[in-house]
């Protein structure tokens, strides 16, 4: 019997914004967020000033649409959400759709709720660094602790669990007990390599 590899876990955080033009559809959008497997870790309704919008979109400074962008994003309240799931950044970007309105899939969030390149309903972080910065900007009093990288769970399981579990599963297949889960749990407790070692017979004293 061969135990191959454990599934890779790569839980990420990303920032989602429901923009002023879609604020009236916020409940529908949040329902979609949850149905797509995201956890909403933080939520905040806020109206940004033009200066705050300029800070948030600082990387767009100098572009032709920068004044329109800051004016639009400060024109009404928005809802900021910190989302978490496996591969959250890329998956959220795929759900909301691309930047250009002419390229929006009809079933994307921007395709459903957006009306133009500017009034595109929702925002998503472009990268891990952008997500970290944007979450801290929208939720400045929250301590962001990193999730494990995708290598860390696999390394942990390989070091502390895999070999013992493999032996237990092999013995389980040989024994074929009536209640395999209880049998395996008992076997793991008895054969825990990190548990106290019991030696039979007399212990020789040091001379």
Kindly report the pTM of this predicted structure: 0.66
Q: At CA 78, angle to CA 139 and CA 108, rounded to 5? A: 105
Cβ 92 vs Cβ 14: under 8 Å: yes
- Is 123 catalytic? The answer is yes
pLDDT in tens, 19-62: 999 999 999 999 999 999 999 999 999 999 999 999 999 988 88
Closest CA to 92 of 134, 133, 122, 124: 124
pLDDT under 50 in the chain at which residues?
1-8, 199, 203, 206-207
Residue-range domains of the chain with CATH: 11-150 (3.30.70.141), 161-190 (no CATH)
Closest CA to 16 of 24, 6, 26: 26
Q: How many other C-beta atoms lie within 10 A of the C-beta of residue 38?
A: 22
Marked catalytic residue, from 10, 24, 60, 123: 123
Cβ 139 vs Cβ 44: under 8 Å: yes
pLDDT in tens, 160-169: 788 888 888 8
């Amino acid at each position: 019997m061969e135990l191959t590899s454990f599934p890779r876990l790569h839980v990420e955080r990303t920032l989602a914004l429901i923009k002023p033009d879609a604020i009236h559809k916020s409940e529908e959008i949040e329902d979609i967020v949850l149905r797509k497997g995201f956890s909403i870790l933080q939520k905040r309704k806020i109206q940004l000033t033009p200066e705050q919008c300029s800070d948030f979109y600082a990387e767009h400074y100098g572009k032709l649409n920068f004044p329109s962008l800051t004016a639009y994003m400060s024109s009404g309240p928005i809802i900021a959400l910190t989302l978490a799931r496996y591969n959250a950044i890329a998956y959220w970007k795929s759900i909301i759709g691309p930047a250009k309105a002419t390229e929006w899939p009809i079933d994307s969030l921007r395709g459903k709720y957006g009306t133009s390149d500017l009034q595109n309903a929702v925002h998503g972080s472009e990268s891990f660094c952008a997500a970290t910065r944007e979450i801290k900007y929208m939720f400045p009093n929250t301590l962001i602790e990193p999730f494990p990288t995708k290598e860390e769970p696999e390394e942990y399981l390989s070091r502390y669990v895999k070999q013992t579990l493999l032996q237990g599963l092999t013995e389980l297949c040989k024994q074929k007990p009536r209640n395999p889960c209880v049998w395996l749990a008992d076997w793991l407790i008895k054969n825990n390599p990190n548990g106290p070692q019991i030696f039979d017979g007399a212990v020789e004293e040091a001379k």
